[in-house]
């Protein structure tokens, strides 16, 4: 009898230990995921990243055009470019007609790779403080994980932009069906948070445009969106460098690329304290329209 009771109590203790361990492991996993979401995810896309580099980044060498931003690309018009379908080899145009400017004198700030619970709320608060509307190019899996942040972005009057499901910089090299599935899945994740929200912009991760990805995004009612000002904030060069690059390169119609996710973005958040008041004084800042023609 005593032996049985001892066994039972040992078994019960073991059971409790197991439950506690499972709970601890579970919360550690959740915590880890929320702290370093990018590192905990598989790089199914074959994107090369080094140990210190960010996972998500719209950066060279994937998009060498960012080193030489050219607003002349948009002059050809989105419909004309890339129609030969020769992909990346099409002349010098690596953008396939993706927009690099707003088409007006207004300037657009864009924030990529989120939403991220660490930085997106800070960016939203800053934008609210300076009464600035912007555009958020969100990653589908992050939208799925943080529907509350998608709702917050929309509630504040900002524009949403599809940035693919898993930030696949090679997406443009996949089949049209695969591209369509990826973009549709992303839009569905966004609309699971905000039903019927307009999603009329698509930004290819890495700026690695191809004719198929431009074509499919257009078929889905989205206009391909590139950029003209890139402070390379994904490299975390510091708030001063980010701010000075943006403020130096800004011009009427500019589309500014920044990131609210994909790594340590405190530099970007801090840079906004300088960028927002100065740019607001010089330009009209806009959320990209949700009914582009």
Residues that bind Zn ion (CB under 5 A): 56, 58, 112-113, 205
DSSP letter, residue 32: H
Least distance between Zn ion and beta carbon 7 (Å):
57
Please report how close the Cβ of residue 59 comes to Zn ion at its closest, in angstroms: 8
Nearer to Zn ion, 59 or 245 (CB): 59
Q: Report d(CA 177, CA 186) in Å as an integer.
A: 14
User: Do residues 150 and 175 touch, judged by C-beta distance below 8 A?
Assistant: no
Check 167, 226, 259, 260 and give the catalytic one.
259
Instruction: Check 112, 145, 182, 260 and give the catalytic one.
Output: 112
Asked whether the beta carbons of 158 and 287 are under 8 A apart, the reply is: yes
Q: How far is the CB of 106 from Zn ion (least distance, A)?
A: 23
- Side by side, the strands of the sheet bearing 255-259 are 223-224, 201-202, 159-162, 135-138, 108-112, 255-259
Which residues neighbour 90 within 8 Å (Cβ) at sequence distance 6 or greater? 81, 82, 84, 96, 211
Which CB sits closer to Zn ion, 56 or 119? 56
Q: Is 116 a catalytic residue?
A: no
Among residues 228 and 283, whose Cβ is nearest to Zn ion? Answer: 228
Q: Of 107, 113, 100, nearest to 132 (Cα)?
A: 107
Positive or negative, the Cα torsion across 261, 264, 270, 274?
negative
Residue among 58 and 116 whose Cβ is closer to Zn ion: 58
Q: How far is the CB of 164 from Zn ion (least distance, A)?
A: 8
- The answer to whether residue 68 is catalytic is no
Which two structure tokens, joined as six digits, stand for 287? Answer: 């959320």
Q: Please, which residue, 56 or 283, has the CB nearer to Zn ion?
A: 56
Min dist CB 56 to Zn ion, Å, is 5
Q: What are phi and psi of 214, to 5 degrees?
A: -65, -45
Residues labelled as active-site residues:
112, 259
């Amino acid at each position: 009898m005593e032996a049985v009771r001892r066994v039972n109590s040992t078994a019960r203790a073991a059971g409790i230990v197991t439950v506690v361990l499972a709970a601890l492991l579970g919360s550690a996993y959740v915590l880890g995921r929320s702290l370093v979401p990018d590192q905990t995810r598989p790089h199914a896309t074959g994107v090369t990243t080094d140990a210190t580099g960010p996972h998500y980044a719209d950066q060279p060498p994937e998009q060498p055009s960012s080193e030489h931003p050219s607003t002349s690309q948009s002059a050809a018009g989105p419909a004309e470019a890339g129609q030969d379908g020769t992909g990346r080899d099409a002349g010098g145009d690596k953008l396939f007609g993706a927009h690099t400017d707003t088409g007006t004198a207004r300037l657009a700030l864009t924030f990529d790779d989120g939403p991220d619970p660490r930085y997106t709320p800070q960016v939203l608060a800053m934008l609210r403080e300076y009464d600035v509307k912007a555009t958020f190019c969100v990653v589908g899996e992050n939208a799925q994980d943080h529907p509350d942040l998608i709702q917050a972005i929309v509630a504040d009057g900002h524009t949403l932009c599809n940035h693919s499901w898993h930030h696949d910089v090679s997406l443009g090299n996949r089949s049209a069906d695969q591209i369509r599935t990826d973009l549709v899945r992303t839009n569905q994740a966004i609309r699971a948070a905000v039903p019927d929200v307009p999603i009329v912009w698509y930004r290819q991760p890495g700026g690695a445009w191809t004719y198929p990805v431009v074509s499919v995004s257009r078929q889905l009612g989205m206009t391909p969106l590139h950029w003209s000002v890139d402070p390379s904030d994904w490299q975390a060069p510091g708030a001063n460098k980010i701010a000075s690059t943006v403020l130096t390169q800004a011009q009427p119609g500019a589309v500014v690329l920044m990131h609210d996710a994909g790594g340590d973005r405190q530099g970007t958040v801090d840079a906004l304290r300088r960028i927002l008041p100065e740019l607001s004084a010089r330009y009209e800042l806009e959320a990209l329209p949700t009914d582009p023609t």
